[in-house]
Amino acid sequence: MSVTPLQALPLDQLRQRSSTKWRTYGDDVLPLFVAETDFAPAPAITAALSRAVALGDTGYTPPDPGIAAAYSGFARRRFGWEIDPARVRTTCDVMMGVVEILRRVTEPGDRVIVTTPVYPPFFECIPEAGAVVERVPLRDTGTAWELDLVGIEAAFAAGARAILLCNPHNPTGTVHSRETLAALADLAARFGAVVISDEIHAPLTHRDVTFTPFLDASPVAARVGYAVVSASKAFNLAGLKCALMVTAVDETSAVVRALPAEVEWRTGLFGAIAAVAAFSPESDEWLDAQLAALDANRALLAELLAANLPAARYRIPDAGFLAWVDLSELGWGDNPAVKVLRDARVALHLGPLFGEEGRGHVRINFGCSPEVLREAVERIAQISR
């Protein structure tokens, strides 16, 4: 079925926003760095928040704002995943949920695996929980990235107690297969380790790929895993502060239930209200339209780079609105985003922040209009000549 792509808002309107994307740099810079998108909110979200403001509904978040049931329905519709709403608990954001779970499943000094290049806050939230980062880089097959199960097995065998999984992966946009996730679960079970799966980008999996929630990958995965999810990336709600911690069996559910009440009190009321609206069937059409726009843009970026920056290396991502691009051959050093910002006035995310594997790379946010994406690449091409 054909879906009409969502249209990004015009730049003059976007520049009136007060978020990080639009207040970090001046109006001469095209901001394609932080993970914020340029679309108007889903109508159901706008209506729900507008009603809350009109009512003065700005107090404390209630014990059951309806988000567990809403996400359960969303997961069933979008992923074919059956969730027991009683096994869902909320908190402020995904990284806070990760830290709180890590504090309960690791001891101070325990090693936690991350699969680099990976979302930079992973390197901060693990020490915040008292653990130590252990890097096991993704395997580059030449055509895709995948988990290095041999390397992960070695790390578990050497004593790593957990793995912090990015599924779908940021920055590469990789969606791990059910078979890979099941194999990871088997390794964790063998060594008595746990898997914490950050699935914030899952709603943005593109139509030609199937997303498998880690907890649904196998019965073993359900036993060893925790998932932390949010509407914030797919629906551009990061400032409203709401995430969900999801479990699948009694043992892991007990761990999350035992978290202090304050962990749940940190959930923003507007975040909960917006998330209920986002995960409702009423927002499915909007999400599909956004995915159509992002699908077009991920292909457009490949065309633009091939035409204007043929030395750039880019693989079309399976999910999301973030592109991982290797600019090493341009000779712009380990951190090419610095030159791009200075000389082209385009802000990209700094590759080395994602780990050693990010040297020579940039991350590009293509959750914008085709016109902005085109101008950004053309500006970068100008400084390469």
pLDDT in tens, the chain (385 residues): 689 999 999 999 999 999 999 999 999 999 999 999 999 999 999 999 999 999 999 999 999 999 999 999 999 999 999 999 999 999 999 999 999 999 999 999 999 999 999 999 999 999 999 999 999 999 999 999 999 999 999 999 999 999 999 999 999 999 999 999 999 999 999 999 999 999 999 999 999 999 999 999 999 999 999 999 999 999 999 999 999 999 999 999 999 999 999 999 999 999 999 999 999 999 999 999 999 999 999 999 999 999 999 999 999 999 999 999 999 999 999 999 999 999 999 999 999 999 999 999 999 999 999 999 999 999 999 999 7
Strands (E) across 143-288 are located at 145-146, 162-166, 194-198, 225-229, 243-246
Question: Are both 249 and 211 inside the same structural domain?
Answer: yes
- Nearest CA among 165, 142, 143, 140 for reference residue 152: 165
Look up the domain containing 338 and give its range.
11-41+284-382
Q: Is residue 333 part of a domain?
A: yes
From the list 53, 52, 49, 32, the residue with the least C-alpha distance to 41 is 49
β-pairing, 313-314 vs 322-326, is: antiparallel
* 68 and 203 together in one domain: yes
| 270 and 292 share one domain | no
Q: Based on the domain organization, do 130 and 102 belong to the same domain?
A: yes
- If asked whether residues 176 and 76 sit together in one domain, one would say yes
Q: Are residues 89 and 106 in the same domain?
A: yes
230 located within any domain: yes
Same domain for 269 and 310?
Answer: no
For residue 142, how many other CB atoms are within 10 A of its CB?
A: 5
Query: How many domains is the chain built from?
Result: 2
Same domain, yes or no, for 93 and 182? yes
d(CA 316, CA 301): 9
Q: Which two tokens stand for residue 190?
A: 């063998």
Do both 326 and 345 map to the same domain? yes
> Is the domain of 232 the same as that of 299?
no
Nearest 5°: phi and psi at 243?
A: -140, 165
Number of other CB atoms surrounding residue 154 within 10 Å: 12
State the Rg of the chain over Cα. Answer: 20
Residue in the block written with tokens 């069996």:
249
CA dist., res. 154 & res. 97, Å (int): 27
Q: Which of 237, 202, 232 has the alpha carbon at shortest distance from 216?
A: 202
What is the reported pTM?
Answer: 0.97
Are residues 26 and 51 located together in one domain of the fold? no
